[in-house]
Structure 1
Amino acid sequence: MTKLALLLGEGALAYAALQAAQRQLGAEHVVSFRLNEAMADLPLFDLDNLPRAIEVTKTHQPTHICVAGRVDLPPARRQAMAKSMALLGNNASTDLGLEHLFGAVAQSIGAMPVGVHEIAPTLLAGEGHLFGPICKLSSGQLRRLIEATRQFGATDLGQAMIFAGVQPIAGEDVGGTDALLKRVSLLSEEFGLPQNLCLVKTKKPQQSGVGDLPTIGKHTIELAASAGVTIIIVEAGHTLVLDQEELPALCEHYGVSIIGST
């Protein structure tokens, strides 16, 4: 990797990716762009004018390109982006379609697409107990919950589910994990859900990993605790874990266990 074009949205992942890239490659080998109003000091990679954004990026001659952070991409905007790249089709507004779009943009720039985990491998979740109180779940229970969430992800709706035991309670939608946890908090108030729920996050089976890998961090823990979640299971090797220095104390404080499983 000689020179990296880094396209940054908002949130902790964007900052973590920028720091990791500059540390690994050296600041002189990283050219950064913003995708929205976050990081206002960076030049804009205009998603609503992709041909122009591609031409500007090409002048920096990057060998690789990576996207990190949250970006507001409703279906209509995705369709418009795909149309500008002559990629209209039935899956243009899906996450898989978004991966294809990113690949087309990277090819037009002449850069190889890479995932955040390739420039910041220490963010990837390991296997086994990671943080918080020791939680005894059998390997069979873990496999069942992981597999159910993968099957849900295959619908291309979301990467996360909430369970009470092995009973599904709610699934992630376009609002993301934060919205899911807030919705579960409301459901708990209305229906009296158990206060020992489990959040499971996995990569969608159809995702390559170059784009939107499942991610958790301290904000996830805080929202999970308020929703009555006491266990978070993440797919080992395919989930990004932010705020790792703060998570041990935070998980102990809230009584939330984090487990990596395959």
Structure 2
Amino acid sequence: MPAGPIAILAGAGQLPIQLVNHLERTGQEVRVMAFRGFAEAELQRRAHATVDLLDLKTITSTLEGWRPQAVSLVGAVRRPGFSALLSAYSLLRNMQEVKEVISRGDDQVLRGAVMLLEERGHRVVGAHELAPDLVASRALTGALQPGADDWDAIGFGLDLLASLSAFDIGQGAIVAHRHVLAIEGPEGTDRMMRRVRKMRQAWFGLRRREEGGVLIKAAKRGQDLRVDMPTIGPKTVVEAASAGLSGIAIGAGSTFVLEQDETLRTADRLGLFLTTVDLPWMERPLG
């Protein structure tokens, strides 16, 4: 890589923290730009700049001062309203072009952000390129293995997610016996599993005896992995167990697994399987 720091534009979650820790351990110079209201408190304390998500002028001027060798957008953010996006993006781009970009869903908004950065000469890279060890390999698996019903649910779930890709809907679904219990929306994976847990509670909080099902997490067809890659970790496993699921299946080479050893230990301890699957629509999975 050319000289200069790696600029991390950090949203919510543990992935930005783990990425920064990884880069610092390897001796890489890092500059962290934390998005106010999204980045974790720990990372905000370590950040070199804290900005509002839509303050594009400050973001671009700060990056110009840092002169980074590469920029990576990492972590979750809530999509602002259409009018707020329109006002922010139109400061830097043609109004009609902005309307077309942000009216097509979250993927188009993320691609628009990448386009803005690239137009200003920045090389945008994914966290998976900076820290490939965080990506689930095909060999990643827990002590337990899926049963026949689980594999049937996994195949059904993958077909479901593939068919939903064109509609820019979430990266996860919960399937039991070829029955769709939930599809991930803007609330994210953990809250989706809490919805399933609540559905499985009878009156007075007594759990119905209908446990089972699989969480399937996979990148969408045509998804830009530089800015939006599925992620799980120990907390995901705990939520899956609380929802009464049998296990978790993730896309091999296209899913981040935070704290991999602890995630596997948690799955084994709670009696869930954790397995990776190849995604037919991923031509070149990573790792």
TM-score relative to the length of structure 2: 0.82
Q: Deviations over 1:199-248 (max 9, x none)?
A: 10111113121111010001111111111112111111111101112123
- The structure whose RCO (Cα within 8 Å, separation 6+) is larger is 1
The equivalent residue for 2:18 is: 16
Query: Would the alpha carbon gap of residues 79 and 184 (structure 1) be closer, same or farther in structure 2, given more than 3 Å must change?
Result: farther
Query: Would the alpha carbon gap of residues 214 and 63 (structure 1) be closer, same or farther in structure 2, given more than 3 Å must change?
Result: same
Query: Would the alpha carbon gap of residues 229 and 81 (structure 1) be closer, same or farther in structure 2, given more than 3 Å must change?
Result: farther
Please say which of residues 234-243 and 246-255 is displaced more in the overlay. Answer: 246-255
Query: Would the alpha carbon gap of residues 136 and 217 (structure 1) be closer, same or farther in structure 2, given more than 3 Å must change?
Result: same
2: CA distance, partners of 1:187 / 1:91: 37
2: CA distance, partners of 1:239 / 1:177: 13
The equivalent residue for 2:161 is: 149
Any unmatched runs of 5+ in structure 2? 279-287
Residue pairs, 1:23-38, within 5 angstroms: 23-24=25-26, 26-27=27-28, 29-37=29-37, 38=40
1:78 Cα deviation from its structure 2 partner: 4.0
Aligned length in residues: 260
TM-score relative to the length of structure 1: 0.89
Residue pairs, 1:40-189, within 5 angstroms: 40-41=44-45, 42=47, 43-76=49-82, 77-86=84-93, 87-92=97-102, 94-127=105-138, 130-137=141-148, 142-189=154-201
**One-letter code aligned to 1:256:** L
Q: Deviations over 1:53-106 (max 9, x none)?
A: 101111111121101122232343444443343242244152221222221232
**One-letter code aligned to 2:44:** A
Matched-pair contact (CA < 8 Å) for 1:146–1:200: yes
The equivalent residue for 1:6 is: 8
Q: 2:229 aligns with which of 213, 217, 230?
A: 213
SS of the equivalent of 1:99 reads: helix
2: CA distance, partners of 1:223 / 1:80: 38
2: CA distance, partners of 1:180 / 1:65: 31
Please say which of residues 235-244 and 2-11 is displaced more in the overlay. Answer: 2-11
**One-letter code aligned to 1:65:** V
Query: Would the alpha carbon gap of residues 156 and 6 (structure 1) be closer, same or farther in structure 2, given more than 3 Å must change?
Result: same
2: CA distance, partners of 1:193 / 1:170: 18
Query: Would the alpha carbon gap of residues 230 and 82 (structure 1) be closer, same or farther in structure 2, given more than 3 Å must change?
Result: farther
Matched-pair contact (CA < 8 Å) for 2:153–2:175: no
1:132 Cα deviation from its structure 2 partner: 4.1
Query: Would the alpha carbon gap of residues 252 and 48 (structure 1) be closer, same or farther in structure 2, given more than 3 Å must change?
Result: same
Matched residues, percent identical?
A: 25
1:145 Cα deviation from its structure 2 partner: 2.7
2: CA distance, partners of 1:229 / 1:139: 13
**One-letter code aligned to 2:251:** E
Aligned-CA RMSD value:
2.3
Any unmatched runs of 5+ in structure 1? none
